[in-house]
Each structure stands twice: as structure tokens, then as C-alpha cells.
Amino acid sequence: MKKPIIYIFLVSFFIACAGGQFTNSSTTIKPAYVSPAMYMKFSCDELEMQAADLIAKVPQLENEIDKIKKDNDVWISTGAVLFLPLLAGMKPNKEQAEELAQLRGNLVAIKEAAMRNNCRGAGYIPQ
């Protein structure tokens, strides 16, 4: 009788541990590579406007990714403790993570292009 209970507990524990890898936190997402060549012909003002547009999108996307991560963490802990099929309620945030990586990659490319073009505000563009 004790073996099935221990087995169920161990399976639940390993699924819960693996489930933590199911979603990303916004702080763990690295920028995707974007070539700065596409921004080299932009003027400093155009680079600044492009960076401002991207910077404005980042917080909303980070919040969305973190909310999905937090919700999934609740599903994982509840599913592992109470009822294993609850883990089916988790949602991936892969699309948002890829979009954030792309935004961050574009910001890195814009910053590099701005630095190569000797733009004044290049140092203030976040990465």
C-alpha cells in the first residue's frame, strides 16, 4: 500500500519540478541576435524614435510573461500537491518570450548602430 503512494508522490514531485521549466520569467530572457546593419542608414533621430517605440512595448510584454509564469507556478504547486491533472491548466509563454527576445535584440542593434553613428543618446538606450 505504501509503494503506490510513494510512487505517486515521486511522480508528482518530478512533474512539478519539470513544470517549472515550462514557462520563462522576463528576467531570464536574453536578447535575440539582430544585425545592426539594418539600422545603420537611420539618422540619430530615427534611431531614437525606433528605440523609444520598442522601449514602450517592453514593460507590457514583461508583465504578461511574468503573469503567465506566476499563474503556472500556482498550477504546478496545486497540481503537485492536490491533483496531478491540474497541471494541464498551465499555459506556455513561449510566443511572448520570443517576442521579448526579439524586442531586446532590436534594442541592442539600435544601440550598436547609434554608437557607430556617434549619436549623443546612444549610451542611454537600454539593453
Q: Which of 34, 33, 43 is nearest to 116 (CA)?
A: 43
C-alpha span between 53 and 31 (Å, rounded): 17
Alpha-helical (H) ranges within 82-123 are 94-116
Q: What is the pLDDT of residue 96?
A: 80
What's the mean per-residue pLDDT of the chain? 75
Q: How confident is the model at residue 118 (pLDDT cuts 50, 70, 90)?
A: confident
- Tell me how many domains the chain contains: 1
Are 56 and 12 a contacting pair, CB within 8 Å?
A: no
For residues 24-39, average pLDDT: 84
Give the structural domain span for 65. 2-124
Q: How confident is the model at residue 88 (pLDDT cuts 50, 70, 90)?
A: low
C-alpha span between 93 and 73 (Å, rounded): 13
